[in-house]
Amino acid sequence: MMDGEGIGVRSDDRLGAAEPSGVSVGRPGPVTPAAPYSEVVRSLSTAQKPSKGAPAYSRFVNRRLGRLIAAGAFKLGLTPNTVTAISAVFSFAGIAVLALVSPAVWVGVVVCLCLVLGYAFDAADGQLARLQGSGSSAGEWLDHMVDATKISSLHLAVLVSAYRFMPVGRAALLIPIGFTVVAAVMFFGMILNDQLRRQFQARSGQPLERGGTSLLRSLLVIPTDYGLLCVVFVVLGWPLVFFWVYAFLFVASAGFMLLASVKWFRDMKALG
């Protein structure tokens, strides 16, 4: 999930303390579960995180889906951890179907829907925590642990499906293995970057401001978007088409990781 927010969606706003890396994120205005649903949605929309680094799907689709889900969860009295658990159920159900069931059109639709819903709920837990004022380190820990398990499991499930069901050569099986490594390294790199920035801010007292991102950049980095990867599974019923698209996303993500790693190293070096 590479959107500059997490694997997808980084859940730093699950924390009740300082915002990540000195970014000032507005809090939703006072609202109660008795308020109309539309009012809760508006309250959330006024306090969104900066969109720097977010690819197009995560920025324009998933964050908005998460907002709608967070508003509904707020009115139902759900906790952020419950929303995280729902996200995990959808995501791992999709991953299990991918690994265990032979590719077919309906299988691709089911996997796609499960992953898309899981990602949307993943975007909702942090927004709900901000709305309730219930963010915690334990909540962020849980969210990141689910994300870390999900991103590796998904690519390993592709490996299993390709080995069992797809008409691809053995050498092609290196692609999901490589994608597993790239996804894990990217996720860890983003988390580590954020922790080191927090340490620098705490040590120096200097905020690290981040502005918004351009539409062009959001579109250029969309091949690295976890949300796009979720949508791609809709063509799983055509295994070779799916695998070629999946291979392209792997190459794009690997290239992005290499370029981003150079930039991240320079950023960390600048922190001292």
CATH number of the domain encompassing residue 166 = 1.20.120.1760
Using alpha carbons only, what angle is made at residue 43 by residues 4 and 85, rounded to the nearest 5 degrees? 55
Residues belonging to the chain: 272
Q: Report yes or no on 243 lying in a domain.
A: yes
**How confident is the model at residue 136, as a pLDDT?**
86
Q: Report yes or no on 4 lying in a domain.
A: no
Q: Report yes or no on 223 lying in a domain.
A: yes
**How confident is the model at residue 10, as a pLDDT?**
40
| pLDDT by residue, tens only, the chain of 272 residues | 444 443 443 434 444 333 333 344 555 567 888 899 999 999 888 766 666 668 889 989 999 999 999 999 999 999 999 999 999 999 999 999 999 999 999 999 999 999 999 999 999 999 999 888 888 889 999 999 999 999 999 999 999 999 999 999 999 999 999 999 999 999 999 999 999 998 998 888 877 666 556 777 888 888 899 999 999 999 999 999 999 999 999 999 999 999 999 999 999 999 87
Q: Report yes or no on 3 lying in a domain.
A: no
148, 192 contact by CB (below 8 A): no
Q: Report yes or no on 1 lying in a domain.
A: no
Q: Report yes or no on 54 lying in a domain.
A: yes
The verdict on pTM exceeding 0.85 is yes
For residue 29, give its domain range.
12-271
Q: What are phi and psi of 221, to 5 degrees?
A: -95, 10
Q: For the chain, what is the domain count? A: 1
Angle, to 10 degrees, between the axis of helix 80-100 and the axis of helix 105-132? 170
